[in-house]
Structures are given as structure tokens and as C-alpha cells.
Amino acid sequence: MTVTSIFILIFALILVLLVTERYHRSVAALIGALLTILFGIEYGLFHLPSILDEVVSLIDVNTILLAIGVMILAEAVARTGFFEFIGLGLAKLVGGSFRRVSIILIILTVFITAFVTTITAMVIMGALTISLARRFKADPSRTIVYEAIMTNVGGLMLMISSIPNLIVASHLDLEFLEFVEISLPLALLITLASALYIFIALGRQPMSLRKIEANPWTVIEDKSTFYRAMIIFVSAIVLFIFRDFIGAPLGLIALGCAVAVLALGSKEPESIFSSIDWGTIFFLTSFYVIVGGLEKSGVLELLANGIFQISEIEPTAFPVANMWVCATASSIIDNIPITMILIPIMKYVSRFAHIPLRILGWSMVFGANLGGSLTPIGAPSCIIAVGILRREGKPISWGEWFRKCLPLVSIQLLLASFYILFLLKA
Amino acid sequence: MLKNILILYFALFLCRSIEPYLRPFLRVKVGVLVADSELIFTFISLLLLIYFGYFILIDVRFFLNLASKIVSAWLVGEEKSRVKLIAYDIAVIIALILLYELLAPLARGVQTIGEPLATAIQIGILAIGLLIVYHLAGQVYHLTKNRIERLTRNLTRRFSRKDSE
């Protein structure tokens, strides 16, 4: 067998394992990385004396450090009770019907996901929504489903909002401010359109309360820790924005701020370490090795040639098509491997088809983030939302999910498609 | 299955053994067609082969089903969804090919017994692979059959309703 066929088989095996979820995704990726190393040695892609150096050179350490740093930072801020504080405060301010409160909660979900992982955002917002729904004696199921969808919109907002953003930014050398300039306006536009749709879709809520009796400050356990964590968090954002002037890699900034928050803004570093999504970190690291193997064995070039021929049919529509393919694939498989596989392929396509690489990068960011909402297993936040609803005795089927989400996600993807065409023209 | 194989073997052996002795006596002529003893015994052998072969095939299928189910349950584990079973079978087949590609060169490197060891590994993996392929084919067949039956049932119900209206 040729080296290309062997690596195609490894890739196919990993895809089947990821789709069927037979193993945890990190375990599936570790199996793939191990096979890549073993066959790499057998076919002369890696050399035994320098194997460790060769394998480590395939891993993008900057992205890994950035992901770890942002996760620690977000977890520390979330633990101070900041997001519950904002949520409760806003709900108290708005009052009225559960529909109005739902819209506020949904919009807040987008902004929270801009800073914390979708899992953390969904857990916080899910708990808050259920507690408020009980006060209103309303059904929270629709609101929770829409919150899950909006966490994926929130993932578009900033460079640190989701792992695909970090990967694309690191590989295409995108700046923090570029996300603010390009991705943030789309996220806001989609949020606005989605809020309108959800407002109509939620319909009239039977119960309404004139005033919610709750003091938001009760959710803040320790005010001094809260203030310190907030100062470090805001400093991290400022440092990300002014990274160019500082000249430091993003990973280093994120890790530095994470160390600061662990030392000053948190009382329980051990517990923060245990709640970090180490599975994602292992998955990310292993997948870098798999992608490296695919690149060295010529599989990616083969795929790129195929995709390049498709791109020649209509180069203007290609970024949009790329976004839809990315979104559809993200609804079944995790968006991290899709982004990682597509980045080197898009580099080839951009070089030969003369399509701006940045546009292709944005189309991947939009598709990978938004596509997760298409199915209940497309994104971690969707899985958590389904779990919350099951615990509340309101299980949701795949059919119901499609009925509730497909129109909204289609609107979001259509808006993103027009936005890509606008970026191409600009 | 063993009984049927032995009976078939014995019957074919008997046909082959007595045919030369009966050659001078057996010669049937129907119109212009002439059938000598060799042709008659070949025809009888074929009939025996079809008759006993059918029972042997049924038994082989039974054992294949059992063996493929055991191998699949051992490698894949308990799974109720047919679609997932198909995906797992495909994963196992890919894993077997990769395992062979990884182990065969290593086995060949072993001094003196290298080549036979590689062949043994090849046979072992091929046997497991064939059983998994058989299991996979069975799952695909049942999945397709169930879907087609459901579709036919729905269409028949719809047409009969239209007719009654």
C-alpha cells in the first residue's frame, strides 16, 4: 500500500470514530496521532533519532497555550459569579413577561460566549433561565434551545471566543482587532436578526411578573476576588488588542494573564485546573499531529487538488460554498478537526485559485461556529442544552430540534453568506 | 454439516469408483442423443452436489452468522442501532488493514520464522476481516430490507385508502 492510501485510511478511521462517538473525541484523536507516528516511522516520514522534535514541530504551541490561558481566565471570572450577576441584574431591570426576559437572556448568552467557552456559558445561562422560568411559572425549553444556538453566534464575536477562531487566527496571522472589525459586526447583525425571530417564535407568554424580587449582589461570594478577577480579565482583553505594540505571542499573553488570575483573582486554583477542558487540549494537540501526517503524506495536497478543481467552476461563490460545507460538517463532527483539516487545504486553494486566503479563513470561522447549531450533537452547548431539558423533564427529540432550530440557523447562515459576498466585493 | 459433507464425499467417491465398471453396460440412446456412462454419472454427481450442497450452505451460513456475530460483539461491543453497527464494522475493517500493514513488516523482520509468521498474521487478519465483512453485509441487507418493507407498506396503505375512497 502507498503512504497516501495508508494515511487516507487513518483519516477515515478517525472520522468514523468521531462521527459515531464510540470513544471520547480526545481518545479518538490520540489513536490517530499514535497511528500517524507509527506509520510515519514505517514509511520514512519521521526518523527515530529525532522523532520527538519532529512530532512537537507539528504542534502549534501558541494555539495550545492560548486555549489553556483563555480557559483558565474565563473559568476564574465565571466562578466569581459575574455572569449570574449580570443576568439577574438585567432580568430585574427588564421584568415584565418571560418572553422579554428570554430575549435579554438570549442576547446576554451571545455576549457571555464571547469571553467564556460555550460549555461554561450554556451551564450558567441554563441554570439562570430555569431559575427565572420557575419564578414566572413558564416553560423554559424554547429559551434554552435558542440559548444553545446563540452560544455558537457568540463564538463569532472575538478571536478568543472559540477554538476554531484561535486556530484560524494563529494560522492566518489574524489580529484581535480584525475580529472586532470583521467578525463582530456579523455576530451583532445575526444576534439582532435572531432576537427578532425568537421574539416572534416565542409567542405570548401567559404569566408576567411586574418585578423580580432578587438582589444580584447575592451571587457574588467575595467582592475583592471579584474585582481583582475583573481587572485582570479587562487587562487581558486590552493586551490582546495591543498585541502588535507589545510584540508578544497571544499564547504568552493568555498564559501570563491566567497565572495572574490564579495568583490574585481566585481562591481555588486546584478546582479551576480540574474544570479546564483538558479533553479539548489533548484533542487539539493530537489533531495537529494527524494533520501534520496528512500533509507530509500528500493526502492534503490530493484533497486540495480536488477542491481546487471545484473552486475553478465559480471562484466568487467558492468561499460561500466553503462556509456551507464547513457548517454542514460541523453539525456532525466537532468543528476543531474540520478547521484544522481545511486550513492547509485552503492555503493551497488560495494560492492556485487566487481567492484571498483571509476570506476563506472568515468563511471557515463563520461556518464552523454557526454550523454547530444544526443538530443537537453539533456543538457542546447543544448537548448540554439537551441534557438540561432532559433533567427538567422536557426531553427534546431530533425532529423537534430541527423544527425549532432549522429556520433560525438557516437565517443565520444566509446572513453570513451575504456577508462573505460583501467582504469579497469590499 | 459434517454429516452432510461426509455423505456427499462418499456419494461422489462411489460415483467415480463404479463408473468405469458400468461403462460397457450403460449407454442410453434417445433419438439422436447418446448419453454414455461418464455423462450419466457426471449428471448424478451434479444432482448430489446440489442437494447436499444446499444443506451444507445452510449450515455454513448458520455458523458464519454465529461466528461473525461473536467476532463483531467482541470487537465492536453491544450496540442496538444498525447504522452505528455498520459504521463500527467499517472502522474495524480499516483498523484491521492498518494493523496488518503495521505488523506484517515487523513479523517479516524476525529471523527464520519471519515469513511464516507474516503469513499466519495475514491469514488471521483475513479470517477476522471476512467475518466482519459478512456481518457488515448482513447489517446493510437488513437495514435496506427494513426500509424498503416500510416504504412498500406505506405505499400499499396509501393506495388502498385511495381505492376505498
Closest CA of chain B from A14, distance in Å: 8
Q: What is the pLDDT of residue B99?
A: 92
Q: How far, rounded to the nearest angstrom, does the alpha carbon of residue A113 sit from its chain's CA centroid?
A: 9
Query: Between chains, do B97 and A35 touch, taking CB under 8 Å as contact?
Result: no
Amino acid residing at A67: A
- Is residue A158's pLDDT more than 70? yes
- Give the model's pLDDT for residue B165: 66
Cell 408576567 found at: A208
Angle at B53 between CA B51 and CA B55, to 5 degrees: 80
Reported as a single tens digit per residue, the pLDDT across A57-74 is: 988 888 888 888 888 888
Q: Report pLDDT for A259.
A: 92
Q: How many residues does chain A have?
A: 426
Give the pairing type, strands A208-209 and A96-97: antiparallel
d(CA A182, CA A185): 6
Res A196 pLDDT > 60? yes
In this predicted structure, what is the pLDDT of residue B65?
Answer: 82
Judge contact between A12 and B94, C-beta under 8 A: yes
CB contact under 8 Å between B98 and A13, yes or no, is yes
φ, ψ for residue A96 (rounded to 5)? 75, -135
Q: List CB contacts of A301: < 8 A, sequence separation 6 or more.
A: A295, A348
DSSP A339-361: HHHHHHHHHHHHHHH---HHHHH
Closest CA to A118 of A226, A280, A273, A240: A280
How many angstroms separate the CA atoms of A183 and A365, rounded?
9
Model pLDDT, residue A361: 92
State residue B119 phi and psi, 5-degree precision: -65, -40
Give the model's confidence band at A160: pLDDT under 50 very low, under 70 low, under 90 confident, else very high.
Answer: confident
**In chain B, which residues have their Cβ closer than 8 Å to the Cβ of A36?**
none
The structural domain count of chain A equals: 1
Report d(CA B44, CA B53) in Å as an integer. 13
Asked if A76 and A121 touch (Cβ cutoff 8 Å), the reply is no
User: When comparing pLDDT for B51 and A211, which is higher?
Assistant: B51
Please check the confidence at residue A10 and state whether its pLDDT lies above 90.
Answer: yes
C-alpha distance from A2 to closest chain B C-alpha (Å): 10
Taking the model in full, what pTM does it have? 0.74
For A120, the domain range is 3-425
User: Do A57 and A20 touch, CB atoms closer than 8 A?
Assistant: no
Split at pLDDT 50, 70, 90, the class of A208 is low
* The predicted structure's pLDDT at residue B94: 93
The set of cell numbers assigned to A419 is 456577508
Enter the C-alpha cell of residue B151.
416504504
pLDDT score recorded for residue A96: 67
**Mean pLDDT score across all residues of chain A:** 85
At residue A289 the predicted structure's pLDDT band, cuts being 50, 70 and 90, is very high
Q: How confident is the model at residue A151 (pLDDT cuts 50, 70, 90)?
A: very high
User: Does the pLDDT of residue A279 top 60, yes or no?
Assistant: yes
A244-273 per-residue burial string, b: 16 or more CB within 10 A, e: under 16:
eeeeeebbbbbbbbbebbbeebbeeeeebe
Least confident range of A144-158, A212-226, B146-160? A212-226
A231-255 pLDDT, tens per residue?
A: 888 888 888 777 767 778 888 888 9
A26 has pLDDT over 70: yes
Q: What is the pLDDT of residues A376-387, one digit of tens each?
A: 878 888 888 888
| B101 closest CB neighbour out of A1, A20, A22 | A1
Q: Under an 8 A CB cutoff, do A42 and B105 touch?
A: yes
3-state secondary structure of A21: coil
CB B44 within 8 A of CB B52: no
Amino acid identity at A387:
G
pLDDT in tens, A336-379: 888 888 888 888 888 887 888 889 999 999 999 999 888 887 88
Task: Look at A17 and B91 and tell me if their CB atoms are within 8 Å.
Answer: yes
CA separation for the pair A250, B15 (Å, rounded): 86
Residues 27-56 of chain A whose Cβ lies under 8 A from any Cβ of chain B = 35, 38-39, 42
Looking at residue A209, its pLDDT comes to: 57
Distance (Å) from the alpha carbon of A35 to chain B's nearest alpha carbon? 9
Q: Chain B window 104-123: which residues touch A at a Cβ cutoff of 8 Å?
A: 105
pLDDT of residue A132: 80
| pLDDT surpasses 80 at A404 | yes
* Rounded-to-integer distance, Cα A75 and Cα A124, Å: 11
As a whole number, mean pLDDT of residues A209-232 equals: 78
**Residue pair A227/A74 in contact by the 8 Å Cβ criterion:** no
Distance CA A160, CA A183 (A): 12
**Section B118-146 average pLDDT:** 89
pLDDT tens figures, B38-86: 888 888 899 989 988 888 888 888 888 888 888 878 877 777 788 888 8
Asked whether the predicted pLDDT for residue B90 surpasses 70, the reply is: yes
User: Cβ of B101 and A22 within 8 Å?
Assistant: no
What's the pLDDT at A211? 61
Q: Which residues of A touch B84 (CB under 8 A)?
A: 20
State whether A9 and B94 contact (CB < 8 Å).
yes
pLDDT of residue B70: 83
Question: In this model, does residue A333 exceed pLDDT 60?
Answer: yes
Task: Please write the tens of the pLDDT for every residue from A292-314.
Answer: 898 888 888 888 778 777 777 77
What does the domain layout of chain B look like in residue ranges?
1-64, 79-165
CA of A12 vs chain B CAs: smallest distance (Å)? 8
State yes or no: ipTM above 0.95. Answer: no
CA distance A46 to A34: 12
Is A207's pLDDT higher than 70?
no
> pLDDT at residue A210 above 60?
no
Give one word for A247, left, alpha or beta, with left for phi > 0 and alpha for psi -120 to 50: left
In this predicted structure, the answer to whether residue A214 has a pLDDT above a threshold of 80 is: no
**Confidence band (pLDDT; 50, 70, 90) for A102?**
confident
Give the residue among A123, A26, A25 at the shortest CA–CA distance from A74: A123
pLDDT at site A215: 76
Is the CB of residue B95 less than 8 Å away from at least one CB of chain A? yes
Point out which residues pair with A274 in neighbouring strands: none
Task: Tell me A394's DSSP state.
Answer: -
Residue B21 is predicted with a pLDDT of 84
Q: A205 pLDDT band (50/70/90 cuts)?
A: low
Buried/exposed code over B118-153 (b: 16+ C-beta within 10 A; e: otherwise): beebeeebeebbebbbbbbebbeeeeeeeeeeeeee
